[in-house]
A and B are shown apart, each in its own frame.
Chain A
Amino acid sequence: MNPKRRQKIVFSLLFISSLLVITPIFLIFFFIFKEGIKVISWEFLTTSPARMGGGGVFPAIVGTLYLTLGTVLISVPLGVLAGIYLSEYAKENLLTRLVKLAIINLAGVPSIVYGLFGLGLFVIFLRFGASLLSGCFTLSIMVLPIVITATKEALNNVPQSFREVSLSLGATKWQTIRYCVLPYAFGGILTGVILSIGRASGETAPILFTAAAFYLPHLPRSIFDQVMALPYHLYVVATQVPGVERRVSYGICLVLVVLVILIDLIALITRYQIRKKKLW
């Protein structure tokens, strides 16, 4: 076979595989949108659910926003600091190797395990009860490996020469990290944050025993209150309440997807703005 033809075949194969990969995503979006849009209304978005499954999803939207925000507030500072320590300060020894191994493995733990862990630690042992607080902590533990890994990778991608110049001018290690490394790692770190937002807002298992309320028509009044959340509400409506129309589930799906996209968009715009300012 001549090389040109072979090249064509390989190219088509690559093209078809990438098409195959994105098809399901498009299909999912298409169906969620097509079915979901039918139930979306101002009322659906702004009222509380009725006892037997009908009604709106307002408390669930707010609950998911609270849970996601709380998770970001806890996991991002903690994860970024840990990532900085591991990549810039920690000496390569048995302990750091173990910590790094643990982080990799934590990322693969099923989410229900985090749920049960959260139940044991935050709900029961620390007596936070099933609450917004317990939920945020549980979700934070779940997304920490994502944030830490993203931070580590982002820092490793900053060229060594940036650090050298800064140090050669007499900057301290912290000044170097703060002014010459972190600004360039910011985009990568934010990508990790976006991933964890998606994960935190979409998971059901970790909040199942720690935060989510089956039915709670009012908004949480403190961080020790239970909350409704979109993924759990979806699960309830789809499986636990008989006689609810299918498309209500699709509607909740649509709200969840759009919510996550909106949050990500904010993060993306922030990243863009900061890159523009940093001339990078």
Chain B
Amino acid sequence: MGKIIAKNLDFYYKDFQALKNINLEISEKKITAIIGPSGCGKSTLLRCFNRMNDLIEGIRLEGEILIDGVNIYRDDSDLLFLRKKVGMVFQRPNPFALSIYENIAFGLKIHNMAKRKEIPKIVEDCLNSVHLLDEVRDRLNTSALKLSLEQKQRLCIARTLAVKPEVILMDEPCSALDPLATLKIEELMQELRKDYTIVIVTHNMQQAARVSDETGFMLLGELVEFGKTQDIFTRPGDKRTEDYITGRFG
């Protein structure tokens, strides 16, 4: 059974229907890419998985999203627990205007996850798992805003890891980065895949082809095609997918 399952998902911003009858199954400990032209609803779909859309006024959702078999839109579902379990990395690297250390420790503190003495060790482990520790070891207490964009994005990933999520949602995590930095983040994703279920939204088809195990193609709020990345890119089942990945529109 998939880690995340969407069943007959419809999503509305007021009267505008942004998602139309989405059905998909995201496998555990794999990387799933969502591609499609601008405005097709990729971010909207992603933000349904951790209910970040709840912040927007006038939204409506029909259908179900199951994570580990539990409908996250059930009335009694625990929003804070969900968001701890399903972390998110945003398009623009957005560390808090705190020190590098405090950025990572933030999640530990709000969830009361560690004793005071244990926090430094966990912070180091998190930084280490995104390969940032060696670069910043001697300046953990300086502002995170002074890091390079790529370091910031890795810090943001580490910040997400600190609360021990099971799923990581990434909304165009590399679109603010140069090609070399992008490659580094992609390598990191490959490593994280061993322990986490990753869903990445991307504009960059090469990136989807490079990093993901499975790919979904969206168009105007519909999930046109979903399957093994290799299949989608070599023999797409739908004419529209083919047109998109061969660059004939969008």
Residues of A within 8 A of B (CB): 161-162, 164-172, 175, 179-180, 184, 278-280
Contact = CB atoms under 8 A, between A and B. Distances in A.
Contacts of B92: 161
A280 B144 CA distance: 10
11 contacts: A164-B90, A168-B88, A169-B83, A169-B87, A169-B106, A170-B84, A170-B110, A171-B80, A180-B96, A184-B97, A279-B99
Contact of B98 (A171, A172, A175, A279): A279
Contacts of A166: 96, 106, 110
Given A167-B55, A168-B83, A278-B97, 18 more contacts: A161-B92, A164-B55, A164-B90, A166-B96, A168-B50, A168-B52, A168-B88, A169-B84, A169-B110, A169-B159, A169-B163, A170-B81, A170-B111, A171-B80, A171-B110, A279-B97, A279-B99, A279-B143
B94 interface: yes
Choose among B50, B84, B106, B110 the residue with the greatest number of A CB atoms under 10 Å from its CB.
B110
A168 B110 contact: no
Contacts of A171: 80, 110
B110 A280 contact: no
B72 to A, nearest CB: 13
Contact of B80 (A164, A172, A180, A280): A172
Nearest to B169: A168
Given A169-B160, A170-B107, A279-B143, A161 B83 contact: no
B84 A164 contact: no
B94 A165 contact: yes
B145 interface: yes
A280 B92 CA distance: 18
Contacts of A161: 90, 92, 94
Contacts of A165: 90, 94, 96, 156
B244 to A, nearest CB: 29
Given A170-B83, A170-B107, A172-B80, A278 B98 contact: yes
Given A180-B96, A279-B99, A167 B145 contact: no
Choose among B80, B94, B96, B97 the residue with the greatest number of A CB atoms under 10 Å from its CB.
B96
A179 B90 CA distance: 19
Contacts of B87: 168-169
Interface string B74-90: 00000011111001101
A255 B156 CA distance: 52
B239 to A, nearest CB: 37
